[in-house]
Each structure stands twice: as C-alpha cells, then as structure tokens.
Amino acid sequence: MVHFTTSPQSDADSPVFNDVDLDPDAAGGDANALTSQTLNTDGTPKRPMNAFMIFARRRRPQVSAENQSMRTGDISKILSHEWKSMLPADKQFYLTQAKQLKEAFNSKYPDYVYRRRPNNTRKRRKPDSATPSSAGANTSDGVESSPDAEDAPPLPNSAHSHSSGSSSSHSHRYPFDSTHRYPSSSSPYGSGFGASSYGSSSSMYSGGGSGHARTSSYPYPGDGYRTYESPRSQLLNATYFPPYDNNHHHSVPSPPPSSHLGGTGGSSSPNSGLRKAQSIPSLPSFTGGPCSSSGSQAMHSHHHSASSSSSSSHPSYSHYGNNSSSSSTSANSSSTSTPHPATYSPPTRYSPYASTPSASSSASTSAASASPAPVYSPGPPFTSVSPAPYSSANSPPGSASLPGFPTSSSSSSSASSQSPFSSSTPSYTPRSLSGGGSALGLSGLGPPSGGGGPGSGLNGLGMGGGIGVGVGPADPEFFWRTDNKLL
C-alpha cells in the first residue's frame, strides 16, 4: 500500500497523538494542551471521536507500554482485537460516551458539517463486467495503485442504518477547490471576519439540504467559526493544506494564540492563532462511577430529545441534491420544495438551514440550552470483560490494569452534571476540569482522579475549543477558553 499521498493520519511514524499528550507540563500546569486540540489547523473543529477511538485512546498507552517494541500499527491491531472481543455491554460504555461526545459537538457547532477532502482519485467501483471500456480513461485516476484492499467487512450487523444521500453541492468554482476540503468559500462571507457571521441565517450555504439524513449542512466550517481568513485564502497561503502532507507534528511550543478575535480586536496575525498543533486532550473525565453498574442496560435512557426539533418547519430545502451542475453558489435557490418525505426520519438534528427559530439562531448561544439529554451513565469501563483475546502480554481490557480507571467505581464527583456544556455558569472552569462541566466534554471517561495518575487531573476532552468566534457573550466555551489563555 503505500500510498504516497501521505495521508495525514496514516503516518505511522509520527503519530500525532503519541507524544502530545504526554507533556507533563501541559497537563499539570496551565495551559495546556487540552484546549488546543480542538481545532484543525485550519480552524475547523475536529471530528468527535467515535467509540473505538475513545477506547483506543485510553487503552493505547498501556498496551503500548507493555509492548514497546510494537509499532503503532501493531498496537492498533491489538486494540482492535480487544474491541472486537469486548462484550457489548462493555462497549456500551464507550458507545454512550461517543454519543454524548457527538451530541455535545453538535450542540457546539450546530451548523458544522464534515467535509472530507475531495478526493479525485477514487476509483470507480464496479469494474467488473463492465468492462474496461472505461479503462481508457482511467488515466486520470490512475493513481490507484493498489486496488485490492478488500477489507472493510460490510458489517453484517445492522448496527447502523445509515442512509445517506448524496450530494455535493459545492461545485468547484476555483480550480483548486477541488482540492480543498471546504467547499467554496470565497465569497459570501469571506471576509466575515469575525464574529458573528452567522447570526442570522447563515444558511447561505444551505447546501445541505439534501434530503437525506445527513445532518445539517453548514456552510463550511470555516466561516462561521473561523474568524478571519477565508479558507480559500488560507489555502493559498498554504499553511496547512489539507491533507496530505503536512505534518507538523507537534512542534511548536505553542504560540500564543492570540487571535481569536472575537472580542477584541486581537487578531493580528491570522495565522498564528488557531492552527497549530494539537495536543490531545486527555480523556474525558469520568465521573460517574457507580452508577448503573449493571453494565448493560441502564444506559439506554437517552432520549434524545434534544435535537431540538426544529425540523418541523423546514421550508424548502432544496438543493444539495443536484450536484452536478449547479453551480450556483449561492445556494439558496429554491428549487422544488420537496421536503423530504416522511419516509425517513431525520436522525437527529437536521436543520439545514438555519432553522431559524429562535433558538438556534444564535447558534452558539443556544447551544447550551439545547442540551441534549445528558445521559451520562457511564458504566464501568470494562466490567466483566471478556477473556483476553490475545494473551500475550498484557491484561485484557478488563483487567485491572487500567491505570486510570477504577474499574469499580469510586469516583465521586458529581456525576450528574448536566449538559455537556453545562457549565454555563460563568465560573469558567479552566479548560474543562473534570469535575465540573467540562467544556464540551462529556464527563465521563477520564481517569478518575483518585488514582491520580500522572496527569490525572484534567481531562476533559476538551473539545470545546472555542473557536474564536466572537459571537456571543455567552458562550460557555468561550469562557473557559479565555481562562485558559488560549486567546
């Protein structure tokens, strides 16, 4: 395999995560890393971790420690193995955490929509009978060197039902666009500069409507949240550039993130501020301990009411669908109104366009309120656990070894916190400490301080990051961020 392209993540050698987190200073002291991490170099928020990622994050260091000779990739296999052999009940814990994390993320960035880097190289599926005719053309794609891959078992389980839609609305207006991750950019707000760009509707991009389940659309991350530069310009400047190569493995001590702009003027150099290395936050703190012990059940309570509904009225959403041509950037055109049929129900939030109604309008502001159901019922991390799959070496997931985690329970901190962001109170906790509401983080998971692991103190998953948006006065995260000095 070898893909050259260098995908950011694949880079085994310099795992991004690896070192980052270790930094003692960061952890203990002040500033720290926790905060930074939330954003990508280009200012867009990082995607929330899924269940496995949360699991891996916690477990990897241990496994790694025990098998020092192993490479990251090997460790991953072990982790994978553990994951697969883990009982559902045990996984549930992570699933729940992931879910909360996701909800929190969504609340925080209601309009965010993930956009993968456009990949021009994709191969067309289904060559088979099809003939090669096309082959000729293949030149463009040519890249693919190794088609094989087979992998990805389709997941027999039904676990997920995804429906997806297609879409793409953004056409590339610029030659480059295609390479960039974010759709257009340029214009509309381009200069938004700060602040509230989307106070009002935002929908400009509406792009998303898609009638599908996919979540909402959001223009592109950049704008709303990011403050200063238009993505495009960034790209031009090349700081990061998506993909492919950049590896700034950490490095940089950490520049003073000055910009942020929101409030005051700051800003100064656009570049310096946000992007930057990310360090990883530590795991979310785990508060709930004892709670429901029973492992399995129990956690289901989530009612996800949250989502705010919104949907009900969607006007018309349109576009998105037609990809091809389109062109229009603006997007909002109307087009047909088919709202989507009731056929499928929107998964969660789905409000492409601004839903408008008050609440969300201010995106950020509302966030807090939106708090989805705080479920928090962290089950014991690994309760029973299965046998150790791979015997070699260490303890299986369940075993006690997890330093950070108490298997049993113990944590006392208030589990009950509320919504992810909850901390609404001004008392901003410095980057999410575990105890209080973490900025965004879920409360669970982290090493309970009791154990006092090295860094145990903070954790929080700090997703919050506040992006700089200047927006509201109220943003919770804004506070912590401030405190943190990030800005």
Stretch that binds DNA, among 76-84, 197-205, 365-373, 445-453 (CB under 7 A): 76-84
User: 67: which residues sit within 8 A by CB, 6+ positions away?
Assistant: 74, 75, 78, 393, 394
By C-beta, is 94 or 478 nearer to DNA?
A: 94
> Of 274, 277, 239, 240, nearest to 257 (Cα)?
274
The reply on whether position 115 binds DNA by CB under 7 A is: yes
| Min CB(356)–DNA separation in Å | 20
Report the nearest approach of DNA to the CB of residue 305 (Å).
17
Least CB distance to DNA at residue 336 (A): 7
Contact 445, 54 (CB under 8 A): yes
Give the binding-site size for DNA (rule: CB under 7 A).
Answer: 75
Binding mask 234-273 for DNA (x = CB under 7 A): --------xx------------------------------
Considering only residues 308 to 327 of the shown chain, the ones binding DNA according to CB under 7 A are 321, 323
Note whether 156 and 196 are within 8 A (CB): no
**Binding residues for DNA restricted to 182-211, rule: CB under 7 A:** 183, 211
Nearer to DNA (CB atom), residue 174 or residue 409 = 174
Lookup result for tokens 């270790």: 22
Q: Which residues of 172-195 are buried (b: 16+ CB within 10 A; e: fewer)?
A: ebeeebebbbbbbbbebbbebbbb
Distance from C-alpha of 31 to C-alpha of 148, rounded to nearest angstrom: 46
User: How far apart are alpha carbons 445 and 442 in whole angstroms?
Assistant: 8
Which CB, 12 or 393, lies closer to DNA?
12
In whole angstroms, the minimum distance from the beta carbon of 64 to DNA comes to 12
* Nearest by Cα to 286 from 416, 51, 443: 443
399 forms part of the interface with DNA (CB under 7 A)? no
**Of 15-23, 186-194, 196-204, 387-395, which part binds DNA (CB under 7 A)?**
15-23
**Residue whose entry in the numeric block shows the structure tokens 């490095």:** 251
For position 77 contacting DNA by CB under 7 A, the verdict is yes
Phi, psi of 5 (to 5 degrees): -45, -5
Site for DNA (CB under 7 A): which residue of 23, 66, 144, 245? 144
Give the residue with the Cβ less far from DNA, 114 or 174: 114
Tell me the CA distances in angstroms from 100 to 108, 376, 433, one per residue in order: 12, 8, 17
What binding mask, one character per residue, do residues 341-380 give for DNA by CB under 7 A, x or -?
Answer: x-xx------------------------------------
